[in-house]
A and B are shown apart, each in its own frame.
Chain A
Amino acid sequence: MGRLGRKRKSIGAIVILTFMLVVTACSGGQTEGQTQNQPKDTTGKPVELRLGYYSSAQTDAKMQELIAKFQEKHPNITIKTESSPYNQFFQKLDTQIAAESAPDLWLSDGVLVPKYAERGVLKDLTEWIERDLQKDDYYGLDFNKDANGKYWGVPQGIQIAVLYYNKDMFDEAKVEYPTEDWTWDDLKAAAEKLTKDSNGVYASDAAFDKNKVTQYGLTFFSITEGWMTVLKSYGGGVLDETLTKSIINTPENKQAMEWIVDGMQRELLTTPSDLKSFQSNMAPFPSKAAAMRIGIYARTIDANAADLNYDVTLLPKGPDGKRFSPVIANSWVINKKAEGAKGEAAWEWVKYWATEDEAQKEWAALGEAVPVKKSVANSEQFLSGKPDHKQAFLDSFESAGTLDVNAVWSEWVGKFGDSINRAFEGEISVDEALTQADQDVQQVLDEFYK
C-alpha cells in the first residue's frame, strides 16, 4: 500500500514538473528572442562554466586573476577551471571528450583547432564573431578560418616567427647585423662567417673542422622554426589550398630543400641529430651555441632570461622576394555541447578576453604572446622592453601564413619529418626524400579525407 502511494505521489510530481517545464520553456523562448540583439541580458540566470587551459605556474596565476575579474563583471557566471601542463592537458581532453565530460570551453593550441573542429567537437563561432567582433581590430582571426570560411576559435595570443640574432656573436665575427632585405642566401653567407669550431676557426676558413662545431650559424628546428618557413618563401609548401592534397614534390620545394641540406651538411645549420645532443630543441640560441634562430614570440622569454645581447628582424626572403612568416594562433574554442546559456556565457568569456584592454594588457605583460587586439599590440606597453625591435613581430603580419594546419596535422608533420630528416642527415637525396614524403603524406590525407 505504502509503495503504491509513493508511486502515485511521484507521478503527480512528474506531472507538475512537466507543466512547470513547459511554462518556463515558453517564457524562456521569449527572453531568448529578446537577447538576440542584446547578449548582455544573459546576466539573469546563474551559469556554471567549466573552462580548461594548459599552463605553467606563472601563467596559471595570471589566468586565475583574469577569471576573477571577469566574474566580478558577470556575477551570474561561475567559472570552474581545469588546467594542467600542455601534454597532459590534451591527453586528458581527448578522453574527456570521449566520456562527454569535456570543459565547456578551452584553450587550444592553434595547430590543434582543426583536429577538433573537423571531428565535430567544436561550436561554429562564425555568427557570433560576425556579430560581436570588428575583424579589423584583431590579429589572426582568419588563421582559424577553414576552407569553407567558417570560424572555429578566437585567438587567445599569437605566435609569429621572426629572425633572432645574437649581437655579440655578430660583433665578434665582424659581420653586419641582418636587415629586412636579406634573402636566405644572404643568411647563409653570414652563417658561414658565424659558425665556429672548438679551435675558434670560422666556417669561412679552410682550416674549419665541421665535426667540432661549438657555435652554429643558425639553429633550425622542425616545422615552425625550421623548414616550413624556407619552403614557403621559396614558393613551395606542403598542402594545397584545400588542405587535402600534397604538393610536396615540386621544383620550388626541391630548391628550398637543397638550400637547407647544403647548410646542414656544412654544419652551418643544426641537423636534427645535432639538436638531440643538446637535450632540448630550443637550447642552442639561449645557451649561446647559435648566432641566429627562427623563433616565435614566446622565445623572447628564454632569450631574456639568459640575458642575451640580441635583437630580432623580419625573416629572410626567398629567391623571388617572397617572405613567409609562420603563425600559430592559440585560440579559445567552445564545446559543441555547450548549448543555450552555457554557450552564451562561454562566448562572454571569449569576448571579454579579446575585447577588454584590461585582459589583453595583463596577459601581454607575461610576455608569452603577441596580443590579439591590435590597439594593445601597437601600444608602448607591448613594444617597449627587450628585444629592441619588437615592431618586427607586428610587421611580420604582412607576410603571415599558417602551417597548412588540418585535422591530421600532427600526423602528416611526423610522416614528412621521417623522410626529410634523413635527407637533412645526408642519408638519402633530396629527390628521394620528397618523393617518399609526398607518398606518405598523401596516404595520411586520403585516409582521413577520402
Chain B
Amino acid sequence: MVTPYIVHFLVFVLGSLLASLYFSFSKYDILNPPQWTGLDNYTKLLNEPVFWKALGNTVYFTVLFVPLQTFFALVLAVALNQKLRALKLFRLAHFLPVISSWTVIMYVSDAVFNPRFGFANSLLQAIGLSPQKWLQDEHLVIPLLVLIAVWKGIGYIMVIYLAGLQNVPSEVYEAAEIDGAGTLQKFGRITVPLISSTTFLVLIMSTISTFQAFEQIYVMTGGAMDASSAGGPNKASLVLMIYLYQEGFSFLRMGYASAIAWVLFVILFLLTVVQMTLQKKWVHYE
C-alpha cells in the first residue's frame, strides 16, 4: 500500500509543487519550454499595482466574509439546536444553497439585483429611493458578493457547528439556569467558549477558502460571458485567484502566474501560523 501512495505523492503532489516553484522563476508561455529568469517574476509582481489591488480586494473580501459568516452560522446553529417542530426541514432549507452551483445562484441573484430588470431596484423605487447598479457598482460589488456568499455558505458552517454543539454537556446549561443565567448569558458565557475549538477550525478553513475565492466572482461578474470582464467593474472585485487565472491561462504568462500562487501560499501560511499562535489565548480544549 505504500508504493502506490509514494508514486501518487511524487507525481501529483511533490512533482507539481516543484514544477510550479520552478516555473515561478522562469518565463513560461506554456507553448514553449520555460526559460530561467531568476527573481524577475517576483520583482515584477511586487511592483505591479494590479497585484496590490487584487491583494487588497482579497483581504477586503475575507475580512468582511469570514466574521460575518462565522457569527451568523453559529447563531443559526444554536437556533436550530433546540427542540423545534420540523427541525430537519429548517436545517435542510439552510443547506440547500450550499449544494447549488454558482451558476444557479448567479441567475437567482440576477433576478434580484439586475440593475434593469431586478426586484431590488423595483423595491427601492417603490419606497422612493434611487436605483443602484449593484454588482456593476465599484463600491457595492464586494459587499454584495460577500452577502451572497454568506447566504450560500452559511448552511455548511452551521452543520459543523451543530456537530460541535452536540459536545456541549447539557448539565452546564442546567447549572447556569439554576444560577439564573439568561439566554444571552448562556450563549456568551457557555456556548461560545465551549465551542471555541470548532470556531477555530471554521476560521482557518474559511480564511483559506476565501483567499482562494474564484468561481463565485468569476461567474457573477460576467466571466462566463467574457473572461476579461471577470473581476469588474474596473477591477473592483479582482481577487488574486482571478488575477492568477487571467495571467496564466488567458495571457499565457504561466511563470508569472506561478509566482502569484507562491506568494498566495506564503500569505496563507503566515496567516495560519498567526491564527495558530493566537488560538492559545482563546480556544479551550477539554
Q: Which chain A residue shows the least CB distance to B33? A: A98
Chain A residues whose C-beta falls within 8 Å of the C-beta of B229 in the assembled complex: 272, 276
**B31/A116 in contact, CB under 8 A:** yes
Q: Could you mark each residue 113-148 of chain A with 1 if its beta carbon is under 8 Å from any beta carbon of chain B, else 0?
A: 001100111000000000000000000000000000
Chain A residues whose C-beta falls within 8 Å of the C-beta of B32 in the assembled complex: 119-120
Contact of B136 among A273, A411, A414 (CB under 8 A): A273
**B234/A277 in contact, CB under 8 A:** no
B252 at the interface (CB under 8 A from A): yes
**B225/A273 in contact, CB under 8 A:** no
Chain B residues whose C-beta falls within 8 Å of the C-beta of A280 in the assembled complex: 225
Q: Which chain A residue shows the least CB distance to B251? A: A411
Which of A89-97, A313-321, A396-404 interfaces with chain B?
A: A89-97
**A277/B228 in contact, CB under 8 A:** no
Contact of A97 among B30, B110, B225 (CB under 8 A): B30
Could you tell me the distance between the alpha carbons of A211 and B133 in the complex, rounded to whole angstroms? 12
Q: Which chain B residue shows the least CB distance to A221? A: B226
Chain B residues whose C-beta falls within 8 Å of the C-beta of A427 in the assembled complex: 234
Q: Which chain A residue shows the least CB distance to B117? A: A277
Q: Which chain B residue shows the least CB distance to A91? A: B249
Given the interface contacts A97-B30, A410-B228, A422-B234, does A274 sit within 8 Å of B116 by beta carbon? yes
**B234/A411 in contact, CB under 8 A:** no
Q: Which chain B residue shows the least CB distance to A99? A: B30
A343 at the interface (CB under 8 A from B): no
Could you tell me the distance between the alpha carbons of A421 and B110 in the complex, rounded to whole angstroms? 22
Q: Could you mark each residue 217-233 of chain B with 1 if its beta carbon is under 8 Å from any beta carbon of chain A, else 0?
A: 00000100110110001
Chain B residues whose C-beta falls within 8 Å of the C-beta of A98 in the assembled complex: 30-31
Main secondary structure of the interface of B (DSSP, over half): loop
**B225/A281 in contact, CB under 8 A:** yes
A63 at the interface (CB under 8 A from B): no
Could you tell me the distance between the alpha carbons of A425 and B232 in the complex, rounded to whole angstroms? 13
Q: Could you mark each residue 238-259 of chain A with 1 if its beta carbon is under 8 Å from any beta carbon of chain B, else 0?
A: 0000000000000000000000
Q: How many Å from the CB of B110 to the closest CB on chain A?
A: 7
Q: Report the interface size for chain A: residues with CB under 8 A from the other chain.
A: 31
Chain B residues whose C-beta falls within 8 Å of the C-beta of A94 in the assembled complex: 30-31, 249, 252
Q: Which chain A residue shows the least CB distance to B116? A: A277
A222 at the interface (CB under 8 A from B): yes
Could you tell me the distance between the alpha carbons of A427 and B139 in the complex, rounded to whole angstroms? 14
B115 at the interface (CB under 8 A from A): yes
**B235/A418 in contact, CB under 8 A:** yes
**B31/A119 in contact, CB under 8 A:** yes
Given the interface contacts A281-B225, A414-B228, does A273 sit within 8 Å of B29 by beta carbon? no
B114 at the interface (CB under 8 A from A): yes
A417 at the interface (CB under 8 A from B): yes
**B249/A408 in contact, CB under 8 A:** no
Q: How many Å from the CB of A340 to the closest CB on chain B?
A: 22
A383 at the interface (CB under 8 A from B): no
Q: Could you mark each residue 132-169 of chain A with 1 if its beta carbon is under 8 Å from any beta carbon of chain B, else 0?
A: 00000000000000000000000000000000000000
Chain A residues whose C-beta falls within 8 Å of the C-beta of B279 in the assembled complex: none
Could you tell me the distance between the alpha carbons of A255 and B133 in the complex, rounded to whole angstroms? 29
Q: How many Å from the CB of A284 to the closest CB on chain B?
A: 11
Q: Which chain A residue shows the least CB distance to B110? A: A279
**A273/B30 in contact, CB under 8 A:** no
**B136/A410 in contact, CB under 8 A:** no
**B30/A413 in contact, CB under 8 A:** no
**B228/A413 in contact, CB under 8 A:** yes
B37 at the interface (CB under 8 A from A): no
Chain A residues whose C-beta falls within 8 Å of the C-beta of B114 in the assembled complex: 277
B250 at the interface (CB under 8 A from A): yes
Could you tell me the distance between the alpha carbons of A115 and B253 in the complex, rounded to whole angstroms? 13
Q: Which chain A residue shows the least CB distance to B226? A: A281
Q: Which chain A residue shows the least CB distance to B137? A: A273
Chain B residues whose C-beta falls within 8 Å of the C-beta of A273 in the assembled complex: 115, 133, 136, 233
Could you tell me the distance between the alpha carbons of A97 and B251 in the complex, rounded to whole angstroms? 15
Could you tell me the distance between the alpha carbons of A116 and B131 in the complex, rounded to whole angstroms? 46
Could you tell me the distance between the alpha carbons of A120 and B226 in the complex, rounded to whole angstroms? 27
Q: How many Å from the CB of A370 to the closest CB on chain B?
A: 24
Within 8 A of A (CB), among B201-256: 222, 225-226, 228-229, 233-235, 246, 249-252
Q: A121-B31, A273-B115, A411-B251 are in contact. List 4 more A-B contacts (CB 8 A).
A: A98-B31, A273-B133, A273-B233, A414-B246
Q: List 29 A-B contacts (CB under 8 A).
A: A91-B249, A94-B249, A95-B30, A97-B31, A98-B31, A119-B31, A119-B32, A120-B31, A120-B32, A121-B31, A222-B226, A272-B229, A273-B133, A273-B233, A274-B116, A276-B136, A277-B115, A277-B117, A279-B225, A408-B251, A410-B251, A411-B251, A413-B228, A417-B228, A418-B234, A418-B235, A421-B234, A425-B233, A427-B234
Residues of A near any B CB (own CB < 8 A): 91, 94-95, 97-98, 115-116, 119-121, 211, 222, 272-274, 276-277, 279-281, 408, 410-411, 413-414, 417-418, 421-422, 425, 427
Residues of B near any A CB (own CB < 8 A): 29-32, 110, 114-117, 131, 133, 136, 222, 225-226, 228-229, 233-235, 246, 249-252
A-B pairs with the 8 shortest C-beta distances? A414-B228, A277-B116, A273-B136, A119-B31, A411-B251, A98-B30, A97-B31, A94-B30
